[in-house]
């Protein structure tokens, strides 16, 4: 690269920083909850980009909180240990042997990998689970399914699978006043003090509501919510989202993600965004540019 080309590259970087400054000011001191999973977590370079981006958020004055998943890693460990998995409507039926593996993988290997990656990029991260400081209390998740022949609904027992009933944000408020970035594994405490496996999107949404986050970012393996023609929808109100679910435009696995975003907004989150975690630095594009990186869901 010639000296002229070098100079031009530096000028472009300076321009990008100048354009990002108003957004840094807007979000200074605000809490940003990021759900981390999918390909963004599974690919080495994307994982490094993620860690670097989270550190940058902290260094420019924001308060990032990371909630992570780990479904593929759990599946691989269960297979290695020859523990069979059963799924009902996409949810893993979790017995005592399975939940022990789930907790080991989520709170152990995966959580510490993310913590180490953030620390390696110059941040100060600490690993937590929903059990720490009794942060995430949960109820056992119950689902009903209608028999197509008899039209009778039956209750599905998913075992040690939970959904948040209460999030105590005390430890997160303490950490907000420090230079530490919390990294949370989606494990909760049940009504009988049992360990419950909880969907990471659901935990991220509940945490975001409990801390009155400015933004909830759900990193996914899709570009965002698409309209009937397959075009990305950049912004939706709660009413828009309900209508698109009702008409079938939002369908399949996107429904629970959108519903998580809607619940977070109703709980006081300023806006929830579904973004493509496969795109390098998608978090920075969302936070520091005018056009964003996915689908923003907000109140009316």
Given a cut of 90, is residue 35 above it in pLDDT? yes
Q: Which residue has the higher pLDDT, 178 or 150?
A: 178
Q: Which whole number is the average pLDDT over 105-122?
A: 95
Task: Check residue 88 and give its pLDDT.
Answer: 73
Task: Give the model confidence (pLDDT) of 62-99 as tens digits.
Answer: 999 999 998 888 888 988 898 887 777 667 788 899 99
Given a cut of 80, is residue 39 above it in pLDDT? no
Highest mean pLDDT among 18-27, 70-79, 256-265: 256-265
Given a cut of 90, is residue 166 above it in pLDDT? yes
CATH code: domain 28-298 is: 3.40.1160.10
Given a cut of 80, is residue 257 above it in pLDDT? yes
**3-class SS letters over the chain:** CCHHHHHHHHHHHHHHHHHHHHHHHHHCCCEEEEEECCHHHHCHHHHHHHHHHHHHHHHCCCEEEEEECCHHHHHHHHHHCCCCCEEECCEEEECHHHHHHHHHHHHHHHHHHHHHHHHHCCCCEEEEECCHHHCEEEEEEEEEEECCCCCCEEEEEEEEEEEEEEECCHHHHHHHCCCCEEEEECEEECCCCCEEEECHHHHHHHHHHHCCCCEEEEEECCCCCECCCCCECCEEEHHHHHHHHHCCCCCCCHHHHHHHHHHHHHCCCCEEEEEECCCCCHHHHHHHCCCCCEEEEECC
- Average pLDDT value for the chain: 89
Confidence of residue 10 (pLDDT cuts 50, 70, 90): low
Task: Check residue 144 and give its pLDDT.
Answer: 67
Task: Give the model confidence (pLDDT) of 195-245 as tens digits.
Answer: 999 999 999 999 999 999 999 999 998 889 999 888 999 999 999 999 999
Task: Check residue 49 and give its pLDDT.
Answer: 92
Q: Which residue has the higher pLDDT, 268 or 87?
A: 268
Task: Check residue 113 and give its pLDDT.
Answer: 95
Q: What is the pTM of this model?
A: 0.90
Given a cut of 80, is residue 7 above it in pLDDT? no
Task: Check residue 89 and give its pLDDT.
Answer: 67
């Amino acid at each position: 690269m010639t000296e002229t080309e070098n100079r031009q590259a530096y000028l472009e970087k300076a321009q990008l920083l100048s354009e990002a400054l108003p957004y840094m000011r807007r979000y200074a001191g605000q809490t940003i909850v990021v759900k981390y999973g999918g390909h963004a977590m599974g690919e080495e370079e994307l994982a490094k980009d993620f860690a670097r981006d989270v550190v940058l958020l902290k260094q420019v004055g924001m308060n990032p909180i990371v909630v992570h998943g780990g479904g593929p890693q759990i599946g691989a460990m269960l297979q290695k240990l020859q523990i069979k998995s059963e799924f009902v409507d996409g949810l893993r039926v979790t017995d005592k042997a399975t939940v022990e593996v789930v907790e080991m993988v989520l709170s152990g290997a995966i959580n510490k990998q993310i913590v180490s990656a953030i620390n390696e990029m110059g941040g100060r991260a600490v690993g937590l689970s929903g059990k720490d400081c009794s942060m995430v209390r949960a109820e056992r998740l119950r689902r009903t399914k209608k028999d197509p022949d008899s039209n009778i609904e039956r209750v599905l027992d998913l075992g040690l699978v939970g959904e948040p009933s209460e999030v105590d944000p005390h430890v997160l408020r303490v950490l907000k006043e420090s230079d530490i970035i919390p990294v949370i594994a989606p494990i909760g405490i049940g009504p009988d003090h049992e360990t419950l496996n909880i969907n990471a999107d659901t935990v991220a949404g509940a945490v975001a509501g409990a801390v009155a986050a400015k933004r909830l970012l759900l990193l996914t393996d899709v570009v965002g919510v698409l309209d009937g023609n397959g075009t990305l929808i950049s912004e939706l109100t709660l009413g828009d989202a309900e209508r698109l679910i009702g008409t079938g435009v939002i369908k399949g696995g996107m429904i629970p993600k959108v519903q998580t975003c809607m619940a977070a907004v109703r709980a006081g989150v300023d806006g929830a965004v579904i973004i493509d975690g496969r795109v390098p630095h998608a978090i920075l594009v969302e936070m520091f540019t005018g056009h964003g990186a996915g689908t923003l869901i907000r109140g009316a």
